[in-house]
Structure formats: C-alpha cells, structure tokens
C-alpha cells in the first residue's frame, strides 16, 4: 500500500512530536536529533518533522511505496507524461536507505517518490532555499531549475 508523505519544518521537534502524537493518536515511529516521523494509519500518511528556523513551512511532499519496482514504474510514468524527474537513485537520507526519484510542480513544490529499504544513521539534508533555511532530504538543490512541462502539456 502506498501512502502520501508530508514533510514539514518545525522550530521545536519535541513540541511538534507531542502535538502530532495527540493529533493523530499515534506514537512517533522514528526519533532522531532534530527529526521525527510518524506512520499514521488513519488517514494513511507518512508525516515527517524536520527541525529548523522556518517552522510551519512545507519541506517536501512524497509518495512512499512498498518496492523499488514501484519507484521505477512511477519514474517511467512521470517521464512518459513529460515531467522532468531526477531519475531513480539509491541514496541515504532522512535516517533511511532509499530508492527514490524527485519531481517539482510548476510552483517548485518538491515531490519525492520513494521506498524505504532500511534505517540509516545520517540525515543528509540538502539546503533548498538558503534565505529561509529550508532543506529536504536528498532533494535537488535550489540552484537546479524547477522542471517544467514540455510545450503542449499542462
């Protein structure tokens, strides 16, 4: 089963964990310094909290799948639709080993399509916006242009 991932920036990860445990009646699934994630069953959601200066802002969105084959298939489908992706890569980020691909919407919101292969000991953030301190796990840097649809595609 796939589920949507929402990664948000928080100024106090401890306070945010306490809030989201109560909001979703779900205990935190992974806790590291400046980082936490939840595996929420209802509604099906992977919620990721990343501590930084810009609390309450979007970090990135994602779709968590159950296999690398699903990531490869999603990347192929996105490319067939004319969307520019980063290609499929095996990486370590957000305290996880992953197979992933990234795509950006027309306004620059970054989407990660991924499968978690195992736990890791590193966070490996990439700074997306140096003016706000925004960062995302293994995402393309802000210096890279946001992908755009080719002519004739919405």
pLDDT digits (tens, 9 = 90+) for 22-52: 989 999 999 999 999 999 998 899 999 999 9
What rounded mean pLDDT belongs to the chain? 82
Q: Is residue 66 part of a domain?
A: yes
Q: Is residue 38 part of a domain?
A: yes
pLDDT value for 93: 82
Q: Is residue 69 part of a domain?
A: yes
Residue carrying structure tokens 């990439």: 126
Using the predicted structure, report yes or no on whether residue 150 has a pLDDT greater than 50: no
What radius of gyration do the chain's Cα atoms show? 15
pLDDT value for 137: 56
pLDDT value for 87: 93
Q: What are the start-end ranges of the E strands in 13-109?
A: 30-32, 35-40, 45-51, 57-64, 89-93, 96-104
Distance CA 49, CA 77 (A): 29
Within 13 Å and on the Cβ side, how many CA atoms surround 16? 23
pLDDT value for 94: 82
Q: Is residue 50 part of a domain?
A: yes
How many domains are there within the chain? Answer: 1
Q: Is residue 154 part of a domain?
A: no
126 compared with 148, residue with greater pLDDT:
126
When pLDDT is averaged across residues 4-20 and rounded to a whole number, the result is 95
Q: Is residue 117 part of a domain?
A: yes
Q: Which residues of 57-87 are buried (b: 16+ CB within 10 A; e: fewer)?
A: eebbbbbbbeebebbbebbeebeeeebbbbe
For residue 59, give Cα distances in angstroms to 1, 75, 106: 23, 21, 16
Using the predicted structure, report yes or no on whether residue 99 has a pLDDT greater than 50: yes
Percent of the chain with pLDDT over 90: 63
């Amino acid at each position: 089963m796939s589920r949507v991932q929402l990664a948000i920036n928080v100024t106090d990860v401890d306070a945010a964990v306490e809030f989201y445990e109560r909001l979703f009646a779900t205990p935190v699934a992974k806790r590291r310094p400046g980082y936490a994630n939840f595996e929420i069953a209802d509604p099906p959601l992977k919620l990721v909290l990343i501590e930084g200066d810009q609390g309450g802002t979007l970090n990135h969105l994602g779709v968590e799948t159950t296999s690398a084959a699903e990531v490869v298939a999603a990347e192929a489908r996105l490319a067939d639709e004319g969307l520019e992706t980063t290609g499929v890569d095996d990486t370590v980020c957000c305290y996880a080993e992953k197979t992933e691909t990234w795509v950006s919407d027309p306004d620059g919101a970054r989407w990660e399509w991924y499968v978690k292969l195992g736990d890791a000991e590193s966070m490996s953030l990439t700074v997306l916006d140096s003016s706000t301190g925004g960062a995302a796990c293994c995402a393309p840097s802000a210096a890279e242009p946001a992908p755009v649809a080719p002519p004739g595609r919405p």
